[in-house]
Amino acid sequence: MNRPGREAAARQIMEQSPPRVPPDLCAEAVRRGGRMLRRRTAARRLMWLLLGAAAVVFTVWALTAQPWVEPPSETTPPVTGWESW
């Protein structure tokens, strides 16, 4: 479609009367928006709760397992010099 054809189509669309809007459209949009906000808030709170629980679990594990401490040796070092006693 060339430029004059596009302009004519646009003028025709703009000259038409606007479509009728349902009378309860605003109330429906507000209801759905409120529901979306409540769901988003609940999801955010759940994620913070899970993050806090994971932090607590990690802290308890780290305090009980102490992964930063070197594990005890499984073999005893060789004992030398005890024959001279």
- Does the structure show a pLDDT above 90 at 82? no
User: What is the pLDDT, as a whole number, of residue 11?
Assistant: 93
Q: Are 57 and 65 in contact (CB under 8 A)?
A: no
Express each pLDDT in 53-64 by its tens digit: 999 999 999 999
User: What is the pLDDT, as a whole number, of residue 77?
Assistant: 75
Look up the pTM and report it: 0.58
Complete DSSP assignment for 18-36:
PPPPPTTHHHHHHHHHHHH
Cα–Cα dist 48/41, whole Å: 11
- Does the structure show a pLDDT above 80 at 81? no
SS3 78: coil
User: What is the pLDDT, as a whole number, of residue 85?
Assistant: 58
